[in-house]
Amino acid sequence: MKTIDILRLSLNSLSHRGLRSWLTILGIIIGVAAVVAMLSIGAGMTQTVEAQLSGFGADILNVMPGYTEAEGKGSFFGGKGGESDDVDSPTLTNTDIHTISNVDGVIAVNGIIQGSGDISYLSESIYLGFTGVDPVAFNEITTLEVEYGRFLNTGDNDGILIGSAIANDLFSRALTINTGMRINDQTFRIIGILSPSGAEDYSIYMTHAAAREIVDTIGSNEYSSIQVKIVDTDLVEEITGDIENSLFSSRMVTEETRDFTIYSLTSYIETIESTVETLSFFFIGIAAISLIVGAIGIANTMFMSVLERIRLIGIFKSLGTKNYEIMGLFITESAIIGLMGGVLGVFLGLIMVGFISNSNINFTGTVSKGGGAASSIPIVVTPELIIFSLIFATIIGVISGLIPARNAAKLQVVEAMRSE
């Protein structure tokens, strides 16, 4: 029996079974659609988080005052060596900045002063946070871009740099360059508006001197944190270790009494990737249940197909059809069911993720942007995912049809011919 004859007979058999065939295919459609939807959304979540965090710079380390040992990892608290009730909270100073600057592999060090206050424009006011920075170090470290105006310069003690959301969304009138704003009792002039970036759209940056005028809880030689730019992301662990050792010496602390914590975005990215990967496996497990049900449906349909065509199998064998050809006939049928279910399942999956995400599907493997909905779920659909889904569905079909096909091939000619 030729391959084309096997294919023709398989298609003819499926078409004659009509509704039963479509109900069998439906089980595979649902399973494949679930797999496509879950993996697309999971990949989109991972890529979006990575893109947002990478915008801050994977080559940036942050040094925070305080350390508490919890399962071998640093947490941000005010005490020393695990003591949360220390009266004197540790601080970061110019000495720490100087110490870190001398470590090999460090490009720039920026002391950060965090504060918050009433941001006023005309008769409107809103409570927001702001950040005091060293303009020289900030301009070298930051990955942000200015849409209008310029970055801060040394001596811009009456100037501020604001995020795009503050300029365009928070007040009834849009803010422009050289517009005056008040932060608590201090008047500032907008010298730059940042390009939209997501997390930094509500940020306000000013010089150290300006921030110290507003924040009365930070000493003249103290900082809320220290930002460090390093030469290579591949050296994060090595340079972090060198900075730790230098700070141990300058701050006269040990591993047990350390009063600072160093963390990088790399560790955050790895943690988030791990979390999303776990969620993806969970989602795939749910989708796999649908595929298992679909596989059982294919096997049941093929068993019924064998029973209905026992006499035909006997005729084929009496005409010299080999056992492997009989097996090939039924396996081809089950493979076609799996393939058709895969194709339709992929289309259904794309419709599902498009509906859930409220966005346009991007087939290039990049994050698709929603139609303006702030709560839209990003998705990533790659050609590899589609091909994998089709191949996987076909394999499910083949495996489901193996036992029925084997039973058909083992039938004896005489017994098969006697069947009514």
pLDDT tens digits, residue range 246-265? 999 999 999 888 999 998 87
CA angle 270-275-280, nearest 5°?
Answer: 120
pLDDT of residue 83: 40
In a domain, 66, yes or no: no
Residues 254 and 283 in one domain: no
Task: Looking at the structure, tell me whether residues 115 and 142 fall in a common domain.
Answer: yes
| Same-domain pairing of 166 and 45 | no
Is pLDDT of 275 > 50? yes
Counting the structural domains of the chain, the total is 2
Asked whether residue 264 is assigned to any structural domain, the reply reads no
Please tell me the distance from the alpha carbon of residue 94 to that of residue 111, in angstroms, as a whole number: 8
CB 78 within 8 A of CB 90: yes
Element counts in the chain: helices (H) and strands (E): 12, 14
Residue 279, phi then psi, degrees to nearest 5: -65, -40
Claim to verify: residue 127 and residue 199 sit in the same structural domain: yes
Residue 246 lies in a domain: yes
Q: Report the pLDDT value the prediction gives residue 165, as an integer from 0 to 100.
A: 92
Q: Which of 258, 282, 298 is the last residue of a domain?
A: 258
| pLDDT digit string, tens, across residues 375-416 | 455 677 788 888 888 898 889 888 888 888 888 777 776 666
Helix (H, G, I), strand (E, B) or coil at 384: helix
Instruction: Show the domain range for 408.
Output: 3-54+270-418
* Residue 222 and residue 104 share a domain: yes
Question: Do 251 and 279 belong to one domain?
Answer: no
Q: Which of 73-82, 130-139, 234-243, 391-400 has the lowest mean pLDDT?
A: 73-82
Q: Is the pLDDT of residue 364 over 60?
A: no
Which has the closest alpha carbon to 98: 89, 87, 88, 106?
Answer: 106
Q: What is the pLDDT of residue 179?
A: 93
Greater confidence (288 vs 194) lies with 194
Predicted pLDDT of residue 277: 76
> Do 277 and 218 belong together in one domain?
no
Which residue among 203, 226, 258 closes a domain? 258
What pLDDT, on the 0 to 100 scale, is given for residue 331? Answer: 86
Q: Residue 51 — pLDDT band, cuts 50, 70, 90?
A: low
Last residue of a domain, one of 238, 258, 278: 258
- In this predicted model, which residue has the larger pLDDT, 309 or 30? 30
pLDDT digits (tens, 9 = 90+) for 142-158: 888 999 999 999 999 99
Question: What's the rounded mean pLDDT across residues 16-26?
Answer: 78
CA distance 66 to 63: 9
Query: Are residues 253 and 107 both part of a single domain?
Result: yes
pLDDT at 67 (0 to 100)? 78
Higher pLDDT, 285 or 230: 230
Please calculate the CA angle 35-37-40 and round it to the nearest 5 degrees. 100
Statement to judge: residues 244 and 338 lie in one domain:
no
pLDDT attached to residue 358: 62
Is the same domain home to 168 and 225?
Answer: yes
Question: Does residue 308 sit within a domain?
Answer: yes
Which tokens hold the place of 97? 């900045």
What pLDDT, on a 0 to 100 scale, did the predictor assign at position 77? 34
Give Cα separations from 226 to 69, 213, 229, 245 (angstroms): 20, 19, 10, 16
Nearby residues of 262 by Cβ (< 8 Å), 6 or more positions away: 61, 62, 63, 64, 74, 240, 243, 244
Are 200 and 345 in the same domain?
no
Please give the pLDDT value at position 97. Answer: 96
Same domain, 127 and 221: yes
Total Cβ atoms within 10 A of residue 88: 9
Burial bucket for residue 79 (CB in 10 Å: 0-12, 13-18, 19+): middle
Residues whose CB falls within 8 Å of the CB of residue 266, separated by 6 or more in sequence, listed in order: 58, 233, 236
Residue 400 lies in a domain: yes
The residues, any chain, with a CB within 8 Å of residue 371's CB and separated by 6 or more, are: 358, 359, 360
Tens of pLDDT, residues 307-331: 777 777 777 777 777 877 888 888 8
Nearest of 127, 185, 137, 182 to residue 160 by alpha carbon:
182
Residue 103 to residues 59, 244, 245, 261, 268, Cα–Cα distance (Å): 15, 10, 10, 17, 23
Assigned domain for 79 exists: no
Residue 35 has pLDDT above 60, yes or no: yes
pLDDT at 200 over 50: yes
